[in-house]
Structure 1
Amino acid sequence: MPELPEVAALTSFVAENGGGQKVSKVSVSALGLLATVEPAPAALVGATLTATTRHGKFLDFQFSPSSSRQADRPIHLVLFLARAGWLRWSDALSSVMPKMGGPIAMRLWFENGSGFDLTEAGSRKSMTLWLVKDPLQVPGVAALGPDALTLTLEQFADLMARSPSRVKNVITDQRSLAGIGNAYSDEILHTAMVSPFAVAKKLTDDAVARLYASMRSVLITASSRLEGQEAARLKGEKRSGMRVHGMFGLPCPVCGDTVAQVEFADKSLQYCPTCQTGGRKLADRGMSRLLT
């Protein structure tokens, strides 16, 4: 799933390549993609891409209509890529209309011939798109907690102190902290030398400070590495920067111990026993107790 660094890089890439361009055509070919009725996708035709931003893991593309009437406010295309969604850019986008139910969920053309496809791999379709006049009309955006890169240490410490949940769950709960998902949370916890199953409110002040510093360091480093990359290269660049996530069975780059994992129904987490859990392996199947 794209997280804060990838979403930030995608918004920058689209701004650089599509900013100031006028939409010539839009085709939505996945019935479950669009979560809003008005404005209709056709309302984007003739509008100009004037701004791009992100809200946590949501992308927000602002299109300003050609009319200068007060009632014609900009339209925000808000996109949640979910686990398997992606934006595929082309400087010379195919003129062919995508087939209903095919691999392309939406195709948007600009007048200069460029544009992008929205695609989603697999049979489970969770990618969602909203067309709204205000991003806060999107329930997921309205419910977001503070952004992971704008939170102060004091605010972060207060968040930890108030939560009885596992620390990994806290930092990936978008209502508490926006932008971090499964992959970067593994990296942050490993860098901070904190167990993913540690209870947030029981962390020492030192552990909280390490976790906060690691969160900023991991996200800023990843964002810097991805900045300026083409959209097609972002997934590969993300994987290349991982130290423990997705590295089950490989040596930890810090201590050389074997990276372990805990599997859940629809995902898994990876960690280093030596760096994070005092050399002990966490019980699998989502159980929080340690094996003895």
Structure 2
Amino acid sequence: MPELPEVEALKDFLTEHLSGRRIVRVLPVAVSVLKTYDPPLDAVEGREVAAVHRYGKFLDLETDGGPHFVTHLARAGWLRWRDRLPDGPPRPGKGPLAMRVALETGEGFDLTEAGTQKRLAVHVVRDPREVPGIARLGPDPLAADFDEKAFAALLTSERRRLKGALRDQSLVAGVGNAYSDEILHAAKMSPYKVAASLTPEETARLYRALRTTLTEAVERSRGVAAGRLKAEKKGGLRVHGRTGEPCPVCGDTVREVSFSDSSLQYCPTCQTGGRPLADRRMSRLLK
């Protein structure tokens, strides 16, 4: 899933490639992708892109004097830039293509989504705050005014475990499954630790890990072409997606806890005092 660093890099990429250019056609391929009807999808056609914004994991193409084209790439979506779009309209089918946006220059981009769970979303709205997911976003963790005091205030009454709290977009915007693992590993904290139980020193350590991990990921992604961002993200991860590999900090084996639709990875030595966390899915299989 694209998270804050990748979406920030896509924002920069699209700012360079779209700003001042006119959208001539928007071609939906998957019926499930469009989540709004007023303004209509074709309301962005014939308009120039005035600016590109990021809200958490949402991308917003602001058109000149017109509506906003907002997309959320969800779990398996992606944006694929094309220097030259194919001739003719795309054909609906079983492929990953969900929507195509064409520019007057012949360039454009495709929104694609792999897998069977279709969650990629496009909203055409007059104001990005009309998108429910944007309206309920918490603060951006890289915002200049998001300091340690503001972060501590969010955690004061947060009774969930850190893994779940960091992934909650209404608490902190833009962090998903991968970077929550990376942040907790950098902070040397168990994903099962209750957020409200953190001491002031632990809160400060988690805040530093949050800011540093995301800032470094953004810097690694900056200037990378859209098509290479997935590989860049994977290459920069230390524990997420690296089950069975040695921890780059201590050399212990990275372990995994599986859930119904996701998993987390962690280092026992760095994060849980050497104790493996119970994998409930595996425990049920062994009963």
Q: In the TM superposition, what are the counterparts of 1:1-292 in structure 2 within 5 Å?
A: 1-64=1-64, 73-101=65-93, 102-150=95-143, 151-285=146-280
| SS state at 2:6 partner | helix
Residue identity in the other structure for 1:86:
W
The Cα of 1:96 is off from its aligned counterpart by: 2.5
Q: Which amino acid aligns with 2:86?
A: S
Q: Deviations over 1:175-205 (max 9, x none)?
A: 1110100000000000000100000111111
**Structure 2 letter corresponding to 1:174:** Q
Deviations 1:106-152 (A, max 9, x none): 11110111100000001110001100010000000001111111221
Deviations 1:216-268 (A, max 9, x none): 00000000110111100000000000000000000000000000110000000
Letter in 2 for 1:202: S
Q: Which amino acid aligns with 2:173?
A: A
- 2: CA distance between counterparts of 1:236 and 1:53? 23
Tell me the SS of whatever aligns to 2:115: coil
Aligned residue for 2:142, secondary structure, equals: coil
CA separation in 2, counterparts of 1:95 and 1:48? Answer: 22
The CA deviation at 1:98 is 1.4
TM-score, reference length from structure 2: 0.95
Q: Secondary structure at the match of 2:278?
A: coil
Question: Shift of the alpha carbon at 1:103?
Answer: 2.2
Q: CA shift at 1:44, angstroms?
A: 1.6
Query: Which secondary structure does the structure 2 equivalent of 1:162 belong to?
Result: coil
Aligned length: 279
Say if 1:90 and 1:139 are closer, same or farther in 2 by CA, change over 3 A.
same
Distance 1:121 1:272 in 2: 30
Aligned residues of 2:22 and 2:104 also touching (Cα < 8 A): yes
SS in 1 for 2:241: coil
In the aligned structure 2, how far is the partner of 1:161 from the partner of 1:286? 31
Offset of 1:45 from its aligned partner? 1.5
What CA distance in whole angstroms lies between the structure 2 residues aligned with 1:274 and 1:85?
Answer: 34
Computed over aligned residues only, the root mean square deviation of the Cα atoms, in angstroms, reads: 1.2
* Larger displacement relative to structure 2 (267-276 or 159-168): 159-168
Q: State the SS of the aligned residue for 2:224.
A: coil
> Distance between the aligned counterparts of 1:47 and 1:282, measured in 2?
53
Same amino acid, percent of matched pairs = 52
* Equivalent-residue separation in structure 2 for 1:120 and 1:50 (angstroms): 26
The alpha carbon displacement at 1:91 in A equals: 1.1
2:156 partner SS: helix
| Structure 1 partner of 2:285 | none
SS, match of residue 280 in structure 2: coil
Which structure 1 residue ranges, 4+ long, deviate > 4 Å from structure 2? none
Deviation of 1:286 (Å): 7.1
- CA distance, structure 1, for counterparts of residue 159 and residue 30 of structure 2: 40
Of 206-215 and 93-102, more deviation after overlay is shown by 93-102
| AA at the equivalent of 2:135 | A
Structure 2 CA distance for aligned equivalents of residues 133 and 286 of structure 1: 44
Structure 1 range deviating more: 22-31 or 229-238: 22-31
Q: Counterpart of 1:83 in structure 2: which amino acid?
A: R
Letter in 2 for 1:7: V
SS at match of 1:129: strand
Deviations 1:61-82 (A, max 9, x none): 1111xxxxxxxx4211110100
Q: Could you tell me how far 1:95 is from its partner in structure 2?
A: 2.2
Alpha-carbon distance in structure 1 between the residues aligned to 2:134 and 2:66: 17
Where structure 2 has 5 or more consecutive residues not aligned to the other structure, the ranges are: 283-287
Instruction: Report how far residue 168 of structure 1 moved.
Output: 1.1
Is 236-245 or 147-156 further displaced after alignment? 147-156
Amino acid at match of 1:29: V
